[in-house]
Structure 1
Amino acid sequence: MTSTIIILLCFLVATSVAYYPEDQIHLLMPHSGSAGRKHSSLDCLSWRLAIETNNIQNWIQVPLACEAYVGHYMLGEQYRKDCYLVASEAYEYAKGLNISKDGKDVWVFDIDETTLSNIPYYARDTVRFGAIPYNSTAFNLWVDEAVAPPIPASLKLYKGLVELGFKIVFITGTHDTHTKPRAENLKNAGYTTWEKLILKGVGDGHDYKASKRKELEEAGYRIRGNMGDQWSDLLGTNPGDRVFKLPDPMYYIA
């Protein structure tokens, strides 16, 4: 009887490890999204709400007290649900638009934490979901690996937008020295076609994304939708007809 129980337990463990949900971004932690919510006087759920609504600005890194909370949220079911809700609202909005046949109706996407997920990188012990200071050298090496998985909700939205007739424009803060791996990563992740892939050049300033959107509109494009994970992706001039923000409590870009 004992040996039978042991065999059954081993089977259950092996099955749980081998099972991966279709929309998984990274191996899930065996905890709920609210794990580690409250530490001393800091309520991490309230902190996350405040940063997502842009009420807390210019923060440098995730509070150490909230490292576990952010990790469980990003690896758990709630993050995926939140992304799907945003993508679903974006698609419902897009379906109601009249798309012209001149190929000038575009949808702007950011890349990091918008179309591609860097969770495998941020889950590393040397990064700890943003609780360790940002290391640009290490992150750029990760970018050059070109292995970031797609965010499932965004990929589904992307495919729906292409079917509706939108042209896709990617605008990323990644420097243009990484153009080749970024393009390779996007294609391998399922983002197989786009109108423009715009990366940051040496002379581009703080308002880089706003200026690139302005250039698009001056070239005759109509930005019907704009999606990013940072408020800096969405605010400023020429934001487009409507913006959609995905959650990202791991870092802040001014």
Structure 2
Amino acid sequence: MGSSYLILMLTITTAVASPVNNQIHFLTPHSGSADHKHPYLDCLSWRVAVEANNLRDWTHIPESCVDYVGHYMLGKQYRKDCDIVAAEAYKYAKGLNISGDGKDVWVFDIDETTLSNIPYFARDDVAFGFVPMYWTKFSQWAEKNVAPAIPGSLKLYKKLVNLGFKIVFITGSREASRQPRIRNLKAVGYTQWMKLILRGDNDQSNAVAYKSGKRKEIEEAGYKIRGNMSDQWSDLLGNNPGDRTFKMPDPMYYVA
């Protein structure tokens, strides 16, 4: 990989060692934008295809796009893209007629939706997913409770609570990681919720089936899912998706 990626890896070292806070570190000036002269033009097209769910079932970032994804995730453009999703979600939410009966629910995913794992994926032994078997170390890193909040999502969360929504987190993390997940969420500002749903340790269903089933349980209990936000299409498709879904950007990995 090029010299820019080496600089990126050296810079991220400081961020990984930082304590948990509510900010994503701005480590490079790159925005992730491109024009007809930009060397990452094809990678921009790849990222758009990923976000539109036109490109599916991919297992890792193409080698030629690793630098591009790194600069995008660590630069200003990713933050702006998250912020516009959160702003549109709030615009929609505040226009709803909340019943006041405590049955209006907003569903959040966790990883790359409310918490950011950028410090992990930018490590030189992970390389934004290009290094094989990068998931083997992820659970160990997640248990350290150092994932920062995605700022736009945290602001949205607080506004939704003030509007009277009941918050439900549904994550693909296993039940065994419940306490680390709770500690991390509370440490960065997600301090209250109605439910925190984790995947059973023996659950082998795919993401669509798992999350659809959990959303069905919520609605069968008499709640109304008014909004549903995640970084993965598999969390937003299937049955009982809610009244409206919001897709957060994530070109780092794909969950089928």
Deviations 1:86-143 (A, max 9, x none): 0000000000111112211000000000000000000100111122234333000011
Mapped contact 1:213–1:239 kept (Cα < 8 A): yes
User: 1:189 is matched by which residue type in structure 2?
Assistant: V
Assess, with a 3 A threshold, how the Cα gap between structure 1 residues 123 and 37 changes in structure 2: closer, same or farther. Answer: farther
Mapped contact 2:30–2:76 kept (Cα < 8 A): no
Identify the residue that residue 141 of structure 2 maps to in structure 1: 142
Q: Does residue 82 of the first structure (1) align with residue 84 of the second (2)? A: no
Distance 2:100 2:253 in 1: 39
Identify the residue that residue 5 of structure 1 maps to in structure 2: none
Q: How does 1:1-254 map to 2 (within 5 A)?
A: 24-34=23-33, 38=39, 43-204=42-203, 205-206=205-206, 207-254=209-256
Assess, with a 3 A threshold, how the Cα gap between structure 1 residues 231 and 212 changes in structure 2: closer, same or farther. Answer: same
User: 1:149 is matched by which residue type in structure 2?
Assistant: P
3-state SS of 1:86 partner: helix
Deviations 1:164-185 (A, max 9, x none): 0000000000001000000000
Mapped contact 1:34–1:69 kept (Cα < 8 A): no
Identify the residue that residue 9 of structure 1 maps to in structure 2: none
Q: TM-score, normalised by structure 1?
A: 0.87
Assess, with a 3 A threshold, how the Cα gap between structure 1 residues 108 and 186 changes in structure 2: closer, same or farther. Answer: same
Q: Provide the aligned C-alpha RMSD in A.
A: 1.8
User: 1:131 is matched by which residue type in structure 2?
Assistant: F
Deviations 1:177-219 (A, max 9, x none): 0000000000001000000000000343221011000000001
Distance 1:200 1:56 in 2: 26
Distance 2:77 2:31 in 1: 8
User: 1:92 is matched by which residue type in structure 2?
Assistant: K
Assess, with a 3 A threshold, how the Cα gap between structure 1 residues 192 and 24 changes in structure 2: closer, same or farther. Answer: closer
Distance 1:140 1:49 in 2: 28
User: 1:246 is matched by which residue type in structure 2?
Assistant: M
Q: Give, in angstroms, the shift of residue 37 of structure 1.
A: 5.6
Q: TM-score, normalised by structure 2?
A: 0.86
Distance 1:140 1:131 in 2: 17
User: 1:229 is matched by which residue type in structure 2?
Assistant: D
Assess, with a 3 A threshold, how the Cα gap between structure 1 residues 76 and 196 changes in structure 2: closer, same or farther. Answer: same
Assess, with a 3 A threshold, how the Cα gap between structure 1 residues 214 and 56 changes in structure 2: closer, same or farther. Answer: same
**How many residue pairs were aligned?**
232
Distance 1:137 1:128 in 2: 14
3-state SS of 1:136 partner: helix
Mapped contact 1:126–1:132 kept (Cα < 8 A): yes
Mapped contact 1:229–1:248 kept (Cα < 8 A): yes
3-state SS of 1:225 partner: strand
Mapped contact 2:51–2:250 kept (Cα < 8 A): yes
Mapped contact 2:176–2:201 kept (Cα < 8 A): no
Distance 2:230 2:133 in 1: 20
Distance 1:90 1:134 in 2: 35
Deviates more, 1:196-205 or 1:57-66: 196-205
